[in-house]
Structure 1
Amino acid sequence: MRTAARLASIAFFALTLAACRGGKDPNFVRAFHEAERAQTAGRYAEAAARFDEAAAKAPDPREKGHAAYLAAKMLERSGDNAGASARLESIARQEPPTEHTARALYDLADLRIAHGEPDKGYADLGTLIEKHPSSGISTHALVRLAAHRDETSGQKDTVVWLDGLGERLGKSELGETIAYQAALRTQATGDLPGAHARFLAIVDRWPYPYGNTFDDSLYRASEIDETLGRNEEAIAHLNRMLAERETAHLLGTYQRPRYTQAALRIATLYRDRLNDRAKAREAFHRIYTDFTTSVYRDDALWQEAELYRLDGDANTACSRASTLVREFPNSRYVPCAEAKCPNVARPSKSDAPKKCHDYLVRAREPSAN
């Protein structure tokens, strides 16, 4: 124990010495260090007091602001919600704004909503959105406030509110999120043509690679097209998304979450909606060849093989099945390939199931969920 204490003392002395050499007030460093130790030990009220002390001794405005914010959070953790709220409100109202202003306002809203002042809390979220649209936390505030408005006023009213917000903040960093949230609710209320137009407007205004919702908007537009029977348009939107898929300079691709899902839907749209087996086979095969990190490559090979079989081309079907067994020896399709193709045998080291389930031998869409 004495050795540990001595090592701690030496480490703190070294920290203080380094702070002095770096131009920091050793009293600030000492108070901040003591606050962190109290926080780690769960003594939050003491940690708040020490962070207050550090803020008072901080020579730099940024360090002062950071210590003051941490003091407020420690008061919250100690159960002093009134004290924490007062501190957070003071930080949130500070002019000019600091790096903690937006975060403090969000935390204040969160605290009020959780402890009996929801109207004030949601009003704080609205203030945060209006005054700090470029802050990352404002995106969370927007989504949260929109969901609250859905519950209290209904989604159609939320769309009207979002559209008004978009007129004021559409050119800010929050603009895309505002537009996307409005499009989602337009779709949810049953206005499919209106939602389709909104999603495509987002794609055009915030294109790849800058748009965060570029892929999701195209995917949702394609779903609407499928619902309305416009299957070729649905495929066109999915292909537009995949056209932006990039190959990395060293390894792999800049893979976005919707890419594999989009490729699977293209194949199944050709197969199930347009009855174009040739294009469906090509689309399934591209998943195997182009999406080299996808977990659905064996599914795609099997779907392709089944389509060849349905067209009477057993040789090509078994060739694809053979590739599947060789490259994916543990796939659930291995026993199906053995059953369908007598010349295909599983590798000696295979953990694939022994039995082929009936539902696998029908041409179907592999789940992308």
Structure 2
Amino acid sequence: MGASALALGCGAAPSLPRGYELALRRAEGLERDGRHSAAADAYAQSRLRCGGRADLCARAAVREAAERERAGEPDRARRSYLEAARRWPHDREAPRALRRAARIDLVQGRADDGRSLLRAAISRYPDHGDAAAALRDLLQSVEDREGEAAALAEATSLDRVARVRSSALGDNVLYAIAALRIRLADPAAAERALVDLVDRYPYPRGGLWDEALWLLADLAEVRRDFRAVVRWLERMVAVQESSSIVGSYNLPRFDDAELRIARTWLGPLGDARRAVRAAERLRDRYPDSVLRDDAIVLQARAEEALGHHERACALRSVLAREDPHSRYLRPGRWPVRCGPRQ
């Protein structure tokens, strides 16, 4: 069996058309040399030789447009971006092309045209990686020109689009709605949006699920509902899971949430026993957390509040063993007055 037949039998990717490959190499060389106008022309040549492959054609068109931008030719760049989106709408470059064309419109003062392109990128490709950036660009443009209330109306209209609601972008839209509601001094409506987010886009589907729960805890803290603070944070850490085979699946907020729970029990809620349990849970679940020393110190404060002075002092030795460079081991930093041997 020949080498090419063997490669095809093993599922190897098809080779690049020869003319395309040569033009592409030339374009990349010109790009590296900073000859952006010439590089754009070379990418245009590679696009003409893409052999009808949508992925190659679209990529060449977008790279041509990017070089037109760098060469100071925004109008030609915009035309190339829009051609890529129009001719190859199913390629992964299409939403990126729409967003970059929109950026040119916004910079040149054509806000309505730019926003129209951003809405198209969002509504047609809500699961693409560029959709979140397109959303940010759109809402920022509306807010800059028309204010926060108009940006909120824009985000709310996107939340009504079924394709957006069922996509990976849906939680971004709800989080934006909540953030705008907070800035417009409507925390109750912000909370409703966040509750909708955590219910519709639960872990592990929702990329903003833990941030939404953290913000719900913030809102509860502002209105001094400290038990609600704990409830929201407990909902977050309840999904903490681990596997001896593939390791842990910890979200960035998990250990922060555990420490905040412990602090809330010890401080506003005045329940030192639950504070001890929460601090111990952080230490047990997150052996590599940078917050372990904070948890040990908080546990010592809670033990002292319970009248367990010896336990509180013994925790200093635990900290010295686990984190000998902790700032809490410096003179005067330990929260409990202990004897010299403790």
CA apart distance, 1:273: 0.9
What is the aligned partner in structure 1 of residue 329 from structure 2?
Answer: 334
Cα distance, 1:178 vs structure 2: 1.5
Q: Report the alpha carbon displacement of residue 287 of structure 1 after superposing the two structures with TM.
A: 1.8
Look up the match of 2:126.
133
**Aligned residue in 1 for 2:168:** 173
* Post-superposition offset of 1:252: 4.7
Structure 2: how far apart are the matches of 1:202 and 1:23?
45
Q: Deviation of residue 135 (structure 1)?
A: 2.3
1:183 aligns with 2:162: no
Shift of 1:117: 3.3
Paired letter, 1:86: R
TM-score w.r.t. length of structure 1: 0.81
Taking the aligned partners of 2:84 and 2:69, their CA distance within structure 1 comes to: 14
Q: Does 1:31 align with 2:29?
A: no
Displacement after TM superposition at 1:262 (Å): 0.9
* Deviation sequence 1:12-46 (CA, Å, 0-9, x none): xxxxxxxxx96543222211111111111111122
Residues 1:222 and 2:217 are matched in the alignment: yes
Report if the CA contact (8 A) 2:44-2:61 is conserved: yes
Runs (5+) with no aligned partner, structure 2: 1-12
1:282 aligns with 2:287: no
**Distance (whole Å) between structure 2 residues aligned to residue 222 and residue 156 of structure 1:** 24
Residues 23 and 317 of structure 1, relative CA distance in 2, 3 Å threshold: closer
Q: Kindly state the Cα deviation for residue 95 of structure 1 after the two structures are TM-superposed.
A: 5.8
Distance 1:24-1:175 versus aligned 2 partners, 3 A rule: closer
SS at match of 2:60: helix
What is the aligned counterpart of 2:102 among 98, 105, 109?
109
Structure number with greater Rg is 1
Distance 1:23 1:189, change over 3 A: closer
Over the aligned positions, Cα root-mean-square deviation in angstroms equals 2.2
Aligned pair count reads: 324
- The change in CA–CA distance for 1:213 and 1:250 in structure 2 (over 3 A counts) is same
Counterparts of 1:48 and 1:192, CA distance in 2: 50
Gaps of at least 5 residues in structure 1 are 1-20, 345-369
Question: Judging changes above 3 Å, is the alpha-carbon distance between structure 1 residues 192 and 116 closer, same or farther for their aligned structure 2 residues?
Answer: closer
Q: Of 237, 240, 244, which aligns to 1:249?
A: 244
Letter in 2 for 1:279: R
Deviations 1:231-251 (A, max 9, x none): 112211111110101113346
Which one of 15, 28, 38 corresponds to residue 46 of structure 1? 38
What's the counterpart of residue 15 of structure 1?
Answer: none
1:159 aligned partner: 152
**Identity value in percent:** 27
Residues 197, 82 of structure 1: alpha-carbon distance in 2 compared, 3 angstrom cutoff = closer
Residue 273 of structure 1 corresponds to: 268
Of the candidates 115, 124, 129, which is equivalent to residue 117 of structure 2? 124
Matched, 1:293 2:288: yes
The corresponding residue for 1:87 is 80
Paired AA for residue 115 in structure 2? Y
- The farther-off stretch of 110-119 and 328-337 is 110-119
Indicate whether 1:142 and 2:171 are aligned. Answer: no
